[in-house]
Amino acid sequence: MLNIGIFYFSGTGNTKVITKLIGDAFKKKCKCDIIRIEDLLKNKRKINLCKYDLIGIGNPIYGFDIPKNIFNFFKKYNFIDKQKIFIYSTCAGPFCLNDIASFNLKKVIKKKGLKLIYEELFYMSSNIVFRYNDEVIKQLYNCAVIRSKKMVDNILLGKKKIRSDKKCHRFFRWILSFEKLAWKIIPMDFRVKKICNLCGLCVKNCPQNNIYTKNNKIRFGYNCLACYRCVYGCPLKAITLRYFKFSIVKGGYNIEKILRNPKTSANYITDKTKGYYKIFYNYIKES
C-alpha cells in the first residue's frame, strides 16, 4: 500500500481544510499521515521522511510567495533522491502572480533532488483587507471538495500537472517585491489592547514562536509570517495593528465556523454575476 506523508502550514484555516479534503481522499486508497510543519520546526514531533513513497506540501500564498517556514522545513530535513512530491497552495483568486508563487519552492525541490509530479491551486477567501461573503466562501470550498478528489485520483493514476512559470510573470513578481517589505513591516506594527488578560493563547499558537511575554505584557519578535492567526484567534480581540489596521477583516476569519453554518447557501456565483466575484466563475464552472 502506498505510504503518503502530507506536510502543511495553515495560518488561519484555509490550507487546513483543504489538507483534510486531500488527506481523506488519499486515506480511502492509501496510508496517509497529515502533519503540521510548525510542529516539526518546533521539535514537537519527529519524522522520518524516507519512509514515504510520496510527499505532499501544502501552504497558503502570502504576497505572491510561499511562507518562509516552508523553506525552513526543506532546510531542516533530508529526502530520498528522486522522491516523488506534490505541492498545493491556497490563494485569494486567479491572479497570474499567484500562478507562479511556487517558483522559488520548485527551485528548492529540484535542488533537493526531489521529483515534482503535481501542482495545484485552490481559490479560497482572503483573510486580510477584504473577506469574501460567506456564500462565496462555501461555494469555493465546495469546488475544493471536487478538485481535491480529482487531484488525488490523477496522482494515483500517475498523471502529471506542473504549472509553467512564464518569464514575464517572473518579472512582474520581482517588481512587486514591495509586498515582501510589507510583510516585514507588519511585525513592528502589532499592538495589544489593555483588555488583554495574558491568557497566553497567542504565545502558544504562534507558528514561529514569535510572540512572548515580558514584564506582564505581550511582545512580538521579528520572525513573523504575517499569518494573522494571533489576530483572529484572540478571544478578546485584543491584538490589532496601528498603521495596518485596515488589513484586519471585520468580524474576524473562521472558515470552519462558516462551513458549519447550515443556513449559508453555496450558489452565489453564476454566469450572471458581476463585479469582483465574476473572476471565479470559470474556476467554479470547471470544477
150-155 mean pLDDT: 98
Residue 205 to residue 12: CA distance in whole angstroms: 11
pLDDT score recorded for residue 34? 98
33-43 mean pLDDT: 97
pLDDT score recorded for residue 184? 74
Q: How confident is residue 109, by pLDDT bands cut at 50, 70 and 90? A: very high
Phi, psi of 127 (to 5 degrees): -110, 10
In tens, the pLDDT along 121-150 reads 999 999 999 999 999 999 999 999 999 999
pLDDT score recorded for residue 220? 95
In tens, the pLDDT along 157-187 reads 999 999 876 665 666 666 555 556 666 788 8
Instruction: Say which amino acid occupies 143.
Output: C
Question: How many beta carbons lie within 10 A of that of residue 65, not counting itself?
Answer: 23
pLDDT score recorded for residue 96? 77
With CA atoms as reference, report the closest residue to 220 among 247, 186, 195: 186
Residue reference for cell 486567479 = 94
pLDDT score recorded for residue 206? 98
Specify the DSSP class assigned to residue 249: P
pLDDT score recorded for residue 174? 62
Whether residue 287 has pLDDT greater than 90 = no
Residue 149 to residue 54: CA distance in whole angstroms: 17
59-78 mean pLDDT: 93
205-214 mean pLDDT: 97
Average per-residue pLDDT for the chain:
92
